[in-house]
Amino acid sequence: MRSITSLARARDATYRDAAAIAAIGSEAMPVQYVGLVDPAAVDAAVRQTYSPAALTDCIERCREASDGFFLVAEQSRQVAGFLHFDYFGPEPELHRLYVDGPYRAAGIGTLLMNELHARLPTELEYMLLVVAGNDGAVRFYRRHGLEVAQFVDGLVYYSERMGVSFPTGTRPFSMVLMRRRKAQ
């Protein structure tokens, strides 16, 4: 497959991108977590974080903040992927990066990571969580300078940091906390 990054560009998301982002996230998250996370947990997270209204609010908060970024990768005027990074929690965090199915493994994720790192101070440390067992994502983020720090409870994290409510009886899942360390 030919890399399309030379044809794609990264830019700040706008409220007009919310529907496309919702479609990508709502489709990609369940596919990415199949067999790793209780489907009830995935459904709750998708419903609460990928509605166009929730995304519009998040995009606008990032646009208003000097240290928040909601980026999209665009290919032929179509949103091919997105990345959400902010300082709104207890520490800077890369919350999510998803690529639309037809564009996976074509360089869109790398384009978004490179754009994020070009915007961040080189000394900035930040965190990211990956569902345990998603080894491809761990390898991807390692290539971009993050390292595994510890494992955390996914239900607790999403409840406390993202405000997601889960149905009673949702099975717990583990997440890999990764960190970008200061450049040496």
% of the chain with per-residue pLDDT over 90 = 68
Measured CA to CA, the distance from residue 78 to residue 29 in angstroms comes to: 19
Residue in this structure with the two tokens 């955390």, named with its chain if needed = 152
8-180 maps to CATH 1.10.357.10: no
Find the mean pLDDT for residues 104-116: 95
Measured CA to CA, the distance from residue 168 to residue 179 in angstroms comes to: 31
pLDDT one-digit tens code per residue, 5-23: 567 999 999 999 999 999 9
Q: How confident is residue 2, by pLDDT bands cut at 50, 70 and 90?
A: very low
Does the global pTM surpass 0.85? yes
| Domain boundaries of the chain, sorted by first residue | 8-180
Find the mean pLDDT for residues 84-98: 92
Give the helix/strand (H/E) hosting 118: helix 108-119
Residue in this structure with the two tokens 């970008």, named with its chain if needed = 180
Checking if the pLDDT of 157 tops 90, the result is: no
Q: Which residues pair with 120 in a beta bridge?
A: none
pLDDT one-digit tens code per residue, 63-78: 999 899 999 999 988 9
Checking if the pLDDT of 4 tops 70, the result is: no
The pLDDT, as a whole number, for residue 183 is 61
Q: How confident is residue 3, by pLDDT bands cut at 50, 70 and 90?
A: low
